[in-house]
A = this chain, B = another copy of it.
Amino acid sequence: MLEANLDDQTGEALGYVMQLLLDAGALDVYFTPIQMKKNRPATKLSVLAPSTARERFTQLILRHTSTIGVRYQTWQRTIMQRHFETVTTKYGAVQVKVATYGDIVKRTPEYADCARLAQQKNKPLMMIYQAVLQQLD
């Protein structure tokens, strides 16, 4: 996890940086609203990346944001095993992510598939999700 507190960069530029870091292969990028000294509303940038890619992401952050320092620390992760299954609804086919850990099993319709169908069929996204869930036993 790499982090930087940003009080001298615009939100417009930060939105650009989020996309740039995702395109560069970050596992996750997120912003947290924070409050810094001198009454400054600010944003904490957090980037999850493999520790082998730390120097590369440090350079991306230093190059593309206003910060002059990046702090980092290693977190461990427990990740469920995943595979994908296809579910066919009356609106079309949707990939469902099946995640397992011990006896825990979770099925999540893929957002991108549902959003694509929602737009093609001009239906609310929630209606597509619900159609997928009804196909799961």
Contact = CB atoms under 8 A, between A and B. Distances in A.
A40 B118 CA distance: 17
A53 interface: no
Given A9-B10, A63-B104, A64-B125, 17 more contacts: A5-B30, A7-B11, A8-B10, A11-B42, A15-B36, A22-B37, A30-B37, A32-B34, A32-B44, A66-B108, A68-B79, A68-B82, A69-B78, A71-B78, A73-B74, A130-B133, A133-B133
Interface of A: 1, 3, 5-19, 22, 28-44, 46, 48, 58-59, 62-64, 66, 68-80, 82, 97, 99, 101-102, 104, 106, 108, 111, 115, 118, 124-126, 129-130, 133-134, 136
